A and B are shown apart, each in its own frame.
Chain A
């Protein structure tokens, strides 16, 4: 251990919800997207699932809202070090979308893409079982555009760059294909509990 002379740090808080190396950002919700925030109206939003599925499908705003509503209440974790607790997102579970398109057995990975062209890759298993959502509400109000509104992907058990803002679609693949940050030195999997921040972690 390489102790820094004279460094004591903040009073220790015992928070089992805090993954290693993260701190509680409290009320702050930093914005870290690398691109210009798009002006995307709900009427211009669409969400498509294609690739290795039985029935590729595109939902518009109303069709997506017609699926059963589902909410997430918990924490989110950003690779830059902050975590935020007690966040409430509303939308639809990805399971409901997958039930329509029916993934083929050969599908193992997913490339998520945004209306801006941003991409992020995930194993398909990380997106099923009630652990991933398409969300359009934050704390009961429409998701602000700088946080990915009108709708974003939400995968709270991975670092937050995987939760692509301004979500446009998912392509199911039989192999892993790196997304935007993954091509820029970030980890393929991004599990905050194993501190998988950068490639090689």
Chain B
């Protein structure tokens, strides 16, 4: 697949309306960031689990060998399926946590959802050597090719695709500005805590170390970042539960971020 960002103009949809027609304002029309490989999306591949690393009490990272992986961009996700002996299949979407590289491996980080069919299997049954099937990478909309200044807002497992961007930024030594606000219930539940650097401001909603405030993401966290706009402005990426995505995207809009520069990935 290509790493060249496509420059689809955010063209208004369809044929031009009749003269004098009341055309509603089209403010979103955010173009995809990259061309998506149809072939990679259509083919189910076998992936072999090679390593499991605990991240937090509720999350772990699963490293998979995918020999024919077509490559991905930070922010993309894949579809994964598990098959029971009677042919029953469960399939779910997962963001790719690892940065693009040529190791033939990718990493996923999964939250252990109570009674979760797929995340439950990963957290209680899976061990290195097991195989699963996946297809992807999917969707160019949330991808970040590393070109524009990136402002990343994530909560819980919503920081998974954002971490791929942070890792990509570091690995390539990119100089384009990148900042992340990462919300977690407590320091113990902050995924990738030991890997986060000066680019990240962690926020804690339930408990925090002595002297660190506890609370939801607020205008006071977002406004200073928007006050220092990098040249060309921020491309904002928001990821997490729907409740978080609604809250964080409204904060961005209130602080002056244009809606057509906000990309949202909701985990449902």
Q: B139 interface residue, CB < 8 Å from A?
A: yes
Q: Quick one: given A9-B90, A48-B22, A198-B41, are A35 and B13 in contact (CB under 8 Å)?
A: no
Q: Verify B26–A116 contact, CB threshold 8 A.
A: yes
By a CB distance below 8 angstroms, the chain A residues around B46 are 2
How far, in Å, is A64 (CB) from chain B's closest CB? 14
How far, in Å, is B27 (CB) from chain A's closest CB? 6
User: Which of A50-58, A90-98, A123-131, A132-140 faces chain B?
Assistant: A50-58
Give per-residue flags for B75-87: 1 if the beta carbon is below 8 A from chain A beta carbons, else 0. Answer: 0000100111111
Q: A80 interface residue, CB < 8 Å from B?
A: yes
Q: Verify A81–B91 contact, CB threshold 8 A.
A: yes
Q: Which residue of B lies closest to A146 (CB)?
A: B246
Q: Which residue of A lies closest to B86 (CB)?
A: A12
Q: Verify B15–A35 contact, CB threshold 8 A.
A: no
How far, in Å, is A49 (CB) from chain B's closest CB? 10
Q: Tell me the complex Cα distance, A40–B170, Å.
A: 41
Q: Tell me the complex Cα distance, A56–B14, Å.
A: 14
Interface residues on chain B, number (Cβ under 8 Å): 67
Q: Which residue of A lies closest to B143 (CB)?
A: A184
Q: A171 interface residue, CB < 8 Å from B?
A: yes
Q: Tell me the residues in window 110-137 of chain B with beta carbons closer than 8 Å to chain A beta carbons.
A: 117, 121, 125-126, 130-133, 135
Contact of B264 among A5, A33, A81, A201 (CB under 8 A): A33
Q: Verify B85–A119 contact, CB threshold 8 A.
A: no
Give per-residue flags for A1-33: 1 if the beta carbon is below 8 A from chain B beta carbons, else 0. Answer: 111111111101000000001010000101111
Q: A85 interface residue, CB < 8 Å from B?
A: no
Contact of A34 among B14, B89, B141, B253 (CB under 8 A): B141
Q: Quick one: given A34-B141, A185-B38, A200-B38, are A117 and B32 in contact (CB under 8 Å)?
A: no
Contact of B29 among A6, A30, A117 (CB under 8 A): A117
Q: Rank and list the top 5 A-B pairs by shortest CB-CB distance, nearest first.
A: A117-B29, A200-B42, A171-B14, A185-B36, A30-B268
Show the binding face of B for A, using Cβ within 8 Å.
Answer: 8, 10, 12-15, 17-18, 21-22, 24-32, 36, 38-39, 41-42, 46, 79, 82-93, 117, 121, 125-126, 130-133, 135, 138-142, 242, 245-246, 249-250, 252-253, 259-260, 262-266, 268
